[in-house]
Amino acid sequence: MTVSTPAQLDPVLPGSPQPGSPADAVERPAGPSLSPSRAADFKTCPLLFRFRTIDRLPERTTPDQVRGTLVHAVLEHLFDLPAAERTPAAAAALVAPEWARLVEQEPALGALFAEIPPAELAGDGATEQPALDGMPDDEGARLAAFLTGAGALLDGYFAVEDPRRLEPAEREALVSTLVDDALLIRGYIDRLDVSPAGDLRVVDYKTGGAPREAFEGRALFQLKFYALVLWRTRGVVPKVLRLLYLKDAEVCDYSPDAEELERFERTLLALSEAIERAKRDRDFRPKPSRLCDWCSHQAFCPEFGGTIPPYPEPSQEESEAPIDGTAPAGADPLG
Ligand code: SF4
């Protein structure tokens, strides 16, 4: 993996609209399915996978996580504007309306501000902000701090990329494919750029406040997952898998090859078999690592003195529901 720091990125990569994601999204068959997040969960810790996808235990929502969802939404819609208008000011102007839209969709997000101090809502190094007009002082200051934190991430974005020079082919695109005629793999790609020569670049925005070294392996796993789907659906190995770390204003590029993706495909099949075996045996072992610091379920984890709850008996409806955890990017606390 190569790391680029703040300077502008590589030359213009104008996108050419593709036939669209429907070609990359297949119907869900009866067999197993996996998203990058859930596959990475099992790889990280089988017990974490169980808590999230089988027990479906609630998880705390952190300001970092919600801010990530907000910034992903802003960056997605920034590209709705004509290229010349995609300025830092235009992005900043999208923050409040996108936040209002998210709260309308999910009113519980408003409760995020109930007890968390403004400095924490704004992210590292931020100071308390003045209240917003028309809101109680306390609530307005918390919201202002939160939106300021989102603005800092957008500053990081503009430090590494000029959206006026890009025309993404797809944004927040759901892609999926069947592996080995049995395993459905699918996930949302933040952005896909396609060069006039047909080269693909997969771009993933990373907005979390956690040290990225702890999550880089997981992020790369996610990108290889997308690369495999694109290779299988379009017959092209993506030329670049790109992580944009907005907090650090850094870029990490990785170039996969077909041989590596074939190996990765076998890894996913083995992972799926291991998951099916664990489900059959109801045996999901804890696997402690530094990612435990970000796990919401320590209270139920034997590694932290907790007791695992009884294995849930699924209703017919639940047993037929997908458990691959496919969700738009930015919403996963583990990245
Ligand atoms: S605390 Fe660590 S070992 Fe326990 S379930 Fe969470 S990730 Fe796994």
Mean pLDDT of 83-95: 97
Q: Residue 83: how many CB atoms within 10 A of its CB?
A: 13
Query: Tens digits of per-residue pLDDT, 251-282?
Result: 999 999 999 999 999 999 999 999 999 999 99
Out of 215, 292, 304, 307, give the residue to mutate to test ligand 1, the one with the largest number of ligand atoms within 8 Å of its CB: 292
Predicted local distance difference test score (pLDDT) of residue 25: 58
Predicted local distance difference test score (pLDDT) of residue 318: 53
Tell me how far the alpha carbon of residue 319 lies from the centroid of ligand 1, in angstroms.
Answer: 24
Out of 57, 283, 284, 301, give the residue to mutate to test ligand 1, the one with the largest number of ligand atoms within 8 Å of its CB: 301
Is the CB–ligand 1 distance for residue 306 below 6 Å? no
Tell me how far the alpha carbon of residue 303 lies from the centroid of ligand 1, in angstroms.
Answer: 7
Give a three-class secondary structure readout of 78-131.
Answer: HCCCCHHHCCHHHHHHHHHHHHHHHHHHCHHHHHHHCCCCHHHHHCCCCCCCCC
Between 161 and 142, the higher pLDDT residue: 161
Out of 41, 42, 44, 47, give the residue to mutate to test ligand 1, the one with the largest number of ligand atoms within 8 Å of its CB: 47
Q: Distance (Å, rounded) from C-alpha 226 to C-alpha 177? A: 10
Is the CB–ligand 1 distance for residue 166 below 6 Å? no
The domain segmentation of the chain, as residue ranges, is: 2-7+14-56+167-289, 63-163
Dihedral sign, CA of 120, 122, 123, 127?
negative
Tell me how far the alpha carbon of residue 43 lies from the centroid of ligand 1, in angstroms.
Answer: 12
pLDDT at 155 over 80: yes
- Ligand 1 atom 3, closest CA: 288
Of the candidates 303, 271, 299, the one whose C-alpha atom is nearest the C-alpha of residue 286 is: 303
User: What is the CATH code for 2-7+14-56+167-289?
Assistant: 3.90.320
Predicted local distance difference test score (pLDDT) of residue 11: 43
Tell me how far the alpha carbon of residue 52 lies from the centroid of ligand 1, in angstroms.
Answer: 11
pLDDT at 6 over 70: no
pLDDT at 216 over 90: no
Tell me how far the alpha carbon of residue 202 lies from the centroid of ligand 1, in angstroms.
Answer: 30
Dihedral sign, CA of 207, 209, 211, 217?
negative
Predicted local distance difference test score (pLDDT) of residue 121: 63
Between 18 and 310, the higher pLDDT residue: 310
State the chain's mean pLDDT as an integer.
83
127 pLDDT band, cuts 50/70/90, is very low
Is the CB–ligand 1 distance for residue 297 below 6 Å? yes
List strand residue ranges (DSSP E) for 148-278, in order: 170-179, 183-194, 200-206, 240-245, 250-254
Predicted local distance difference test score (pLDDT) of residue 137: 59
For 70, the enclosing helix (H) or strand (E) is: helix 63-78
106 pLDDT band, cuts 50/70/90, is confident
124 pLDDT band, cuts 50/70/90, is low
* Max avg pLDDT among 3-7, 110-114, 146-150: 146-150
